């Protein structure tokens, strides 16, 4: 199986794995597109993807991004298989973060390829009883 990748920007870098068995493919920020807010800027990766049928892609931050003081503004990016445009990253800059200029040319996120399960949605009157039931936050102890 293959993941088709199109480079859409002159400075785009083909996503690669740091190690052959790594799950994520590193994505590099290649240009600043626009600010969304004073602390959130949108960057282009210059990378468009088309996963094989039955898969979608997901964008998450690299673990080293915590050292830079940045996070994805939406936490995790879901890229539907029908989207074939360039992958954009909305990056939130926290206090003490690197500058926007420092991110250009830097591997800031990872692309994951995941199986897509399209389940039928069915409304029911009751769900099965479980030991936990509706016990939410903190219900299993500290």
* 8 A C-beta contact, residue 86 and residue 9: yes
Phi/psi for 93 (5° steps) reads: -100, 120
* pLDDT tens for each residue of the chain, 142 residues long: 999 999 999 999 999 999 999 999 999 999 999 999 999 999 999 999 999 999 999 999 998 888 899 999 999 999 999 999 999 999 999 988 889 999 999 999 999 999 999 999 999 999 999 888 887 777 777 6
CATH tag, 4-115: 2.70.40.10
| pTM for the predicted model, two decimal places | 0.88
* pLDDT of 2: 96
Domain boundaries, the chain: 4-115
Helix (DSSP H) and strand (DSSP E) numbers for the chain: 2, 10
């Amino acid at each position: 199986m293959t993941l088709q990748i199109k480079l859409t920007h002159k400075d785009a870098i083909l996503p690669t794995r740091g190690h052959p068995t790594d799950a994520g493919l590193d994505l590099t920020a290649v240009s600043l597109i626009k600010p969304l807010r004073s602390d959130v800027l949108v960057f282009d990766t210059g990378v468009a993807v088309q996963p094989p049928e039955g898969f979608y892609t997901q964008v998450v931050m690299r673990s080293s991004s915590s050292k830079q003081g940045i996070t994805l503004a939406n936490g995790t990016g879901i890229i539907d298989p029908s989207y074939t445009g360039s992958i954009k990253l909305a990056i939130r800059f926290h206090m003490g973060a690197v500058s926007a200029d420092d991110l250009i040319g830097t591997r800031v996120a990872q692309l994951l390829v995941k199986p897509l399960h399209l389940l039928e949605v069915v409304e029911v009157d009751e769900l099965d009883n479980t030991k936990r039931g509706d016990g939410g936050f903190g219900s299993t102890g500290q």
